[in-house]
Structure 1
């Protein structure tokens, strides 16, 4: 039995000093078959601790449906880390940010009218309490005070960047203690006055998050906490990417220099990220500064370990710094696991197709509403939603306005594509309605809820209304399309003569694996925008706009023999062919 203690501005465990050298690995961004590989590589780099968030929306995707299996088996991940000789830091805050959908909050919270997030709102707190009643008892046996590897837990995440409700922070802290958490508790915030004032509690360890200028950051921290250990809980050694932007990189020697200065100052450091992994499925988040920007599928983060777990130059630079600081030879660190094979499977022809709009009755149970309603009002969290109505005619040169579309809408009149309205650059579409009127279909993609800042409450779909000029249109049939499964889709052979229609369509192909599978990467050159499933597993989104040009396919997702690949293409593909290659391309 042991616990992390603070003495003389330093951490101690079992009476011995401990400088925490930690790396973030999110179990939910790595297939479970690779957890050991990534953790062993963390040890091989010289780290003594792993840190992970716990996303509420992964574990309770639908209200009262708790899930802790497979990719969500956080207990197994923590136990495995302990068995491999690593300490663990857990951040189970209701909100995690992490460039994760809605910052980890479940979308079903938004169905409660008037609910306020991350404060002493009774409805919100009741939901947190019920979730913690399920989650925390799973963690308490894994605490270091009970013989487990968990040294510390976070109360809330960067709360000073959002609010000032100290009663809320105390509520979360006391709730952890009441449920048996007796290890060190902490907060983490940016090293700024307002953030440290709003996000900390006087009797709880505070830590700071930053990527550079550690002397300035720790000097500001010391103004508030002169007697506590120096801890950088998030050392941003890389950065995440948005669609329509360039891939972020940071020089390895710059990272090594900042890291060495922190270690020399006696600080404990957690690399955010050590290994980023992948935003599988519809779980990528988004940001809103000047405009909405969605995070890409890859969460490579330019980390010491790449998205597919490969050692990088940054890995080697960081290992040299740790070895020097500890007075060791790098050869004294545990050995690296054998590299994971990469396989070039080549081209796969998508031989079958199915038009999305023609499949609505198979994929959705429609609902009638006077006005367009956002997903959350219909009990939907992720995916797509289709709004249909009949508009009168004739109308010539009228402007179709979609008010507050979240996030990207494709418009069709009598099945013919009219244009796309995007949240970050909204503009009306000119339409002509024949005398007999026309069916209007609007296909809206939820590209990921905002995960940080004041725009956190982010409804999806059409969140206000649809107008022709100034006239609102009423009487809608709405088709929720969470696309949790593509099994209901009825495919037909791809026609020999294909015309570009910009109508969303599914494509299906087959990959046969005859030998032990290796990791691979799907290229969709000539495709526009959409989603890919492999054997029913949602690999994530692609978009020709980049920066990401490939989707990572971990080998454990492949089967010996036949593998089904389904692509939902929202616009068009030059040729219904994809390629499985042996190297990633993040642009």
Structure 2
């Protein structure tokens, strides 16, 4: 049985009759004729698995064929054990019996293959987790006692440009679904097209903003045509994973909290429902979710889809009231809390969110005793790598890079006291002993302190980081989207056209979105900020000098409202409109193709050198790019990038856009760096610091220091 050892082993107790010994009739012929490459799951009985009467070997998908020897061994095992024969007979029946997940409206419950079913699910987003950790995170979900997961599908990740689709790497939805199924987890899919999720633009592609007067999340024919094209692609991937087709997907959500969107376009919801229904058939459960207010469900529900609600930890009375709202639009069928909040997300400039454990487990009990199903949003948050956070609420305020959410599993996937309490509560509520031991946390490493070197101010590096073919000359500044840039930065440049008697000017740029760094010949003069509505600045300049405005996109609104970025409108100097602009899209990651200064790790700078170093005078308070190349022998652990006294910027590592750091605002002080972002040998890092690299070394004013530590840091936040 040497070949069998190449397959993964998993123990299933609660759902052992649902292992799907064969996922299709084709699987049967694979065993009998040893010809087809298909996933085969063989359930062995207690005599085969020594000393554990409830353990079963789960043979997963393999590209290799069984050898004749393995086949003979399987036959011997089948014929020598009556328990196995009984299991084979049971699963043989399943092959020819259509799998079915449905709503029993008469008895207010779900049915799975004709049997009553409830789920305790956890929200987990494949697109926020490195693919190497999908299995780790899902095992931890299973080990907590959950039997299902929910996940969104972000349109903008999968269609980054019109008609160009991406299902690779962290976007490999099929592999994620396969992994969930192999671990015995049902899947509740939330394809949008709008998802919120504190994800950039609510998951809508930025390029939709180039369509004049397009009205997203409405029945606007142009928007629906794009949705139809995207869903054609998406559901060609999704349909094979429906439960009825042998996959893990038991239900699909229509839109997302549409009752909170002011358009309240019933035609849109109806059209969207029928589009999805056409893909999945009449026998797939569709549902909607809205906040627990009748007014929200009025616009958010759609006939044919089961209306559900969402709410966080509550008293028993409040739980009853929330489900009473659901009953207003879903008088029969199962009670469902589609988003039960065990934590909350962070935004820059506000303190780290914390949610107490006791109200969470109490609310779980209330929902359970009311025969409800529920999904924890989120069970594991992950990370908004790159530029993929959105901006939320009044302001709006940008969501942090870390999507820790104070969830049961941390941003790095580690267990918390909240996780342990939820696990214990699930065992008490269900009466089932969870078959998995507590999983271990992933390894973390403190690699130490590292010197980084200033390559130059952003205005000095334009030839390297702004491709000539992407630059645009225009009379007025152009939005990001018009330039063809979805995320990041644009530098706008013109010349001071007239003389001021005292050398001072008043600059106004009311159309800045979101944060602008104003420079004269590369020297910082002021910061404009749409978050604080600060659009006016005093400048010192001379006629003919270059006025440069570097604009940063901090994330489009979570709600999906049109939110173009850049400078939207005119810029004036002493009331005179400025013309003749050069628009430079800035792409710091292009620096990875060039040589970088080499550095080596040392002990923690903050511990080994308590002296207060001096500021880097030339680059201080000016957008500057730093870089370093360093060696690692065998990086097998995650780590956290700690910029220490740096102010605000973006960090890139080995061409991975790790994300935004902003310790001057807080609460997040470190960036999570998964081990697959590192590699044996030479590693390269680029840091784009907008304001100040903080304290630099005593010996070289162009060399500053960062750290890689083995734990995350948070601090009290400051308003931005």
Shorter-chain TM-score category? over 0.9
**Structure 2 partner of 1:306:** 410
Q: How far apart, in 1, do the equivalents of 2:651 and 2:485 lie?
A: 20
Q: After TM superposition, give the deviation of residue 581 of structure 1 in Å.
A: 0.5
Is the contact between residue 362 and residue 489 of structure 1 (CA under 8 Å) also seen in structure 2? no
- Match 1:555 to one of 668, 675, 679: 675
Is the contact between residue 479 and residue 568 of structure 2 (CA under 8 Å) also seen in structure 1? yes
**Structure 2 partner of 1:463:** 568
Q: After TM superposition, give the deviation of residue 126 of structure 1 in Å.
A: 1.0
Q: After TM superposition, give the deviation of residue 439 of structure 1 in Å.
A: 1.0
After superposition, residues 79-118 of structure 1 pair within 5 angstroms as 79-118=178-217
Q: After TM superposition, give the deviation of residue 177 of structure 1 in Å.
A: 2.3
Is the contact between residue 465 and residue 589 of structure 2 (CA under 8 Å) also seen in structure 1? no
- Match 1:129 to one of 215, 224, 228: 228
After superposition, residues 397-408 of structure 1 pair within 5 angstroms as 397-408=504-515
Q: How far apart, in 1, do the equivalents of 2:676 and 2:264 lie?
A: 44
| 2:618 matches 1:499 | yes
Normalised to the residue count of structure 2, the TM-score between the two structures is 0.78
| 2:568 match: secondary structure | strand
Normalised to the residue count of structure 1, the TM-score between the two structures is 0.96
- Match 1:339 to one of 441, 446, 468: 441
| 2:680 matches 1:580 | no
After superposition, residues 141-290 of structure 1 pair within 5 angstroms as 141-162=240-261, 163-181=263-281, 182-211=283-312, 212=314, 213-289=318-394
Q: How far apart, in 2, do the equivalents of 1:565 and 1:30 lie?
A: 21
Q: After TM superposition, give the deviation of residue 410 of structure 1 in Å.
A: 0.3
Q: After TM superposition, give the deviation of residue 516 of structure 1 in Å.
A: 4.6
After superposition, residues 345-494 of structure 1 pair within 5 angstroms as 345-351=447-453, 353-364=455-466, 365=468, 366-395=471-500, 396=502, 397-425=504-532, 426-434=534-542, 436-452=543-559, 456-483=561-588, 485-487=590-592
Is the contact between residue 310 and residue 338 of structure 2 (CA under 8 Å) also seen in structure 1? yes
Is the contact between residue 386 and residue 479 of structure 1 (CA under 8 Å) also seen in structure 2? yes
**Structure 2 partner of 1:45:** 144
Is the contact between residue 242 and residue 294 of structure 1 (CA under 8 Å) also seen in structure 2? yes
Q: 1:111-147 CA distances to partner (integer Å, 9 max, x unpaired)? A: 0101110111111111111111111110000000100
Is the contact between residue 352 and residue 491 of structure 1 (CA under 8 Å) also seen in structure 2? no
Q: 1:533-576 CA distances to partner (integer Å, 9 max, x unpaired)? A: 11110110001211000000111221112211211111221221
Q: How far apart, in 2, do the equivalents of 1:228 and 1:306 lie?
A: 34
| 2:415 matches 1:316 | no
Is the contact between residue 592 and residue 654 of structure 2 (CA under 8 Å) also seen in structure 1? no
Is the contact between residue 405 and residue 423 of structure 1 (CA under 8 Å) also seen in structure 2? yes
Greater CA drift, 246-255 or 348-357: 348-357
**Structure 1 partner of 2:103:** 6
Q: After TM superposition, give the deviation of residue 311 of structure 1 in Å.
A: 0.6
Q: How far apart, in 2, do the equivalents of 1:216 and 1:53 lie?
A: 27
Greater CA drift, 196-205 or 390-399: 390-399
Query: Unaligned stretches of 5+ in structure 2?
Result: 1-97, 600-614, 697-703, 716-720
Is the contact between residue 454 and residue 624 of structure 2 (CA under 8 Å) also seen in structure 1? no
Q: How far apart, in 2, do the equivalents of 1:154 and 1:311 lie?
A: 29
Is the contact between residue 517 and residue 560 of structure 1 (CA under 8 Å) also seen in structure 2? no
* Cα distance change of structure 1 residues 352 and 503 upon mapping to structure 2, 3 Å threshold: closer
Q: How far apart, in 1, do the equivalents of 2:589 and 2:159 lie?
A: 15
| 2:289 match: secondary structure | strand
Q: How far apart, in 1, do the equivalents of 2:588 and 2:177 lie?
A: 31
Q: 1:435-470 CA distances to partner (integer Å, 9 max, x unpaired)? A: x332100000001000127xx210101112211132
Q: How far apart, in 2, do the equivalents of 1:146 and 1:122 lie?
A: 32
Q: How far apart, in 1, do the equivalents of 2:662 and 2:138 lie?
A: 31
Q: How far apart, in 2, do the equivalents of 1:10 and 1:208 lie?
A: 16
Flag the structure with higher strand content: 1
| 2:565 matches 1:565 | no
Is the contact between residue 389 and residue 477 of structure 1 (CA under 8 Å) also seen in structure 2? yes
Is the contact between residue 588 and residue 688 of structure 2 (CA under 8 Å) also seen in structure 1? no
Q: 1:55-112 CA distances to partner (integer Å, 9 max, x unpaired)? A: 0000011111110000000111011100111100110111100000000000000001
- Match 1:534 to one of 631, 653, 666: 653
Q: After TM superposition, give the deviation of residue 359 of structure 1 in Å.
A: 1.6
| 2:397 matches 1:293 | yes
* Cα distance change of structure 1 residues 427 and 463 upon mapping to structure 2, 3 Å threshold: closer
| 2:629 matches 1:510 | yes
Higher RCO (CA 8 Å, separation ≥ 6 residues): 1
Is the contact between residue 248 and residue 301 of structure 1 (CA under 8 Å) also seen in structure 2? yes
Q: How far apart, in 2, do the equivalents of 1:52 and 1:485 lie?
A: 33
| 2:462 match: secondary structure | helix
Q: How far apart, in 2, do the equivalents of 1:263 and 1:406 lie?
A: 46
| 1:206 match: secondary structure | strand
Q: Give the superposed CA RMSD.
A: 1.8
Query: Unaligned stretches of 5+ in structure 1?
Result: none
Q: After TM superposition, give the deviation of residue 51 of structure 1 in Å.
A: 0.8
Q: After TM superposition, give the deviation of residue 398 of structure 1 in Å.
A: 2.7
Q: After TM superposition, give the deviation of residue 484 of structure 1 in Å.
A: 5.5
Q: How far apart, in 2, do the equivalents of 1:6 and 1:369 lie?
A: 58
| 2:631 match: secondary structure | strand
Q: How far apart, in 2, do the equivalents of 1:335 and 1:548 lie?
A: 32
Equivalent pairs counted in the alignment come to: 581
